[in-house]
Amino acid sequence: MGEGVLEARDVTRTYTSGEVQVQALRGVDVAFEQGEFAVLLGPSGSGKSTLLNILGGLDTPTTGTVRYRDHVLSGASEAALTRYRREHVGFVFQVYNLVPSLTALENVALVADISEHAMPPEEALERVGLSGRADHCPSQLSGGEQQRVAPARALVKRPDLLLCDEPTGALGTTVVVITHNQAISQMADRVLTFSDGRVVGEQRNAFPRPPSDIRW
């Protein structure tokens, strides 16, 4: 495995609740290159979300190191992680997590407000086809529409890194996507297969197919 912009080395993550301990990650080594579109595949509970959270600075590994370019994320301070998330990461969460008191446009603007090279929020909404719904509050949007605000919000800041936890929709930069959707994995440069807290397989697509070719 070569040197990448985003790298996890020997990462473990153990959840402790009460006396029960769950080993969600048991030693993960992965690296992602600039511009790569990678997909994580694997059964439910295999640790995909946990890894993605750690890569996105939303969580810290129990052991091991995580590095994004010259930022060492493992063991970084809370403030440093916050800055990392703000400056580099776009995240599409598994549950779409919108601020209920803001409209679709304002939810996107929320992120644009704190980013340096953001695109106009309207443009981000346009890309996900929600221009007509810009002034609607989450409660006035359908489930599918809400789901599409999340990628717009992640993309508006033109992130260096886009992390998507089981999204639907089309994207662009270094993308790490978790999906059960076989069709999406056909678009990826690389598909990593996950099982029981480890990467158990890796497959490179020599010819990633464009979304328009894919049969959903």
Residue 44 binding ligand ADP, by CB under 6 A: yes
Q: Are 188 and 203 in contact (CB under 8 A)?
A: no
What string marks each residue from 145 to 184 as x (binds another protein by CB under 8 A) or -?
--------x-------------------------------
Any idea what the Cα angle at residue 41 is, between residues 28 and 39, rounded to 5°? Answer: 85
15 counts as binding ligand ADP under rule CB under 6 A: yes
Residue 22 touches which of ligand ADP, another protein, Mg ion, none (CB < 5 to 8 A by kind)?
ligand ADP
| Residue 45 within binding range of ligand ADP, rule CB under 6 A | yes
**Share in percent of the chain as helix, strand, coil (round to 5):** 30, 30, 40
Tell whether residue 5 is a contact of another protein (CB under 8 A). Answer: no
Q: Does 22 contact another protein by CB under 8 A?
A: no
Query: What's the CA gap between 19 and 97, in Å, rounded?
Result: 30
| Residue 21 touches ligand ADP, criterion: CB under 6 A | no
For residue 206, what are the CA distances in angstroms to 144, 190, 191? 32, 9, 11
Pairing of strands 174-178, 161-165: parallel
Instruction: Report residue 117 as tokens.
Output: 């090279």
Figure out which of the listed residues 8, 28, 48, 179 binds ligand ADP, where binding follows CB under 6 A.
Answer: 48
Contact between 14 and another protein per CB under 8 A:
no
Q: Max CA-CA distance within the chain? A: 50
* Residues lying near another protein in the complex (CB under 8 A): 17-18, 53, 56, 58-60, 78-79, 81-83, 85-87, 89, 91, 93, 95, 97, 99-102, 106-107, 109-111, 113-115, 153
